Amino acid sequence: MMLDDFMTRAVLAGIGTGLAAAPAGCFVVWRRMAYFGDATAHAAILGVALSLALSLPVFAGALGVALAMAVTVTLLTGRGQAGDTLLGVMAHSALAFGLVGVSFLTDVRIDVMAYLFGDILAVSRGDLAVIWGGAALVLGLVGWRWSALLTATLSPDLARAAGIDPRQEQMILTLVLAVVVAVAIKVVGALLITALLIVPAAAARPFARTPEAMAGLAAVLAMGSAWAGLRASYALDTPAGPTIVCVLALCFAVASAVSGASRRA
């Protein structure tokens, strides 16, 4: 069957992850939340350690801890600590505790590098179901709250005047980011998830006239880069996750050059 081909599963996993990450990444770029995404992604390693220790699905552990981290940071920001300081402390602390926790799992064989940098070539049918189910959940949540999320991103005061609670929209976006992190950890790993979130959106931004166009173009770039990165990884015998991010970085460089040249013309 087609899904018995590991490269087919890898391509489908990359496309599904890119589809989930692109709309969430647009809000990360608009709200300047890159470090927030980083903290959530790093916390996923602690979730992996807990899920393995408790014999739970890795997706459940990564999602639970990433969501807990995101909610905690959201609630604590502005209460005596600068936002970037709090994010830095919590991100690296969670990553360190996760790596230490994994070292205690002597009865479980685990490749830490696979969770740090991804192991898309080892994606199973079950992983595909989780990735595409997560992508459907992300797209459903973002589509349902699109207008409210945009309004709250543009101006919290305008959102309140329109009867929208900005903190509620922040929590919904937090849930979306946690799902993306849990979905993407198998594909690009905890250390590269933020790149998958922000680089396609940043590359699409100069060419989009509307928020919807930016999200759509970011999705195309993310999915295309996943496919091209896997092809390049196979041809060059390089790590798949980092190679996908390298392709994304090249897309951003080209987009920046084209955008700069058109502004000078």
- For residue 83, the model assigns a pLDDT of 60
Report if residue 219 sits inside a domain. no
Residue 3 is given by DSSP the state G
CB 138 within 8 A of CB 197: no
- For residue 78, the model assigns a pLDDT of 56
Does the pLDDT of residue 178 top 90, yes or no?
no
The CA-atom distances, in angstroms, between 92 and each of 39, 43, 116, 166, 182 are 7, 8, 13, 28, 18
Report if residue 71 sits inside a domain. yes
Query: Domain total for the chain?
Result: 1
Q: Give the confidence band of 4 by pLDDT, cuts at 50, 70, 90.
A: low
- pTM summary value: 0.86
Report if residue 154 sits inside a domain. yes
Phi first, then psi: give them for residue 64, nearest 5 degrees: -60, -50
Report if residue 213 sits inside a domain. no
Q: Which domain holds residue 117?
A: 2-191
Report if residue 42 sits inside a domain. yes
Report if residue 79 sits inside a domain. yes
Interval 83-126: pLDDT, tens: 667 777 877 888 888 888 877 776 666 677 778 888 888 888 88
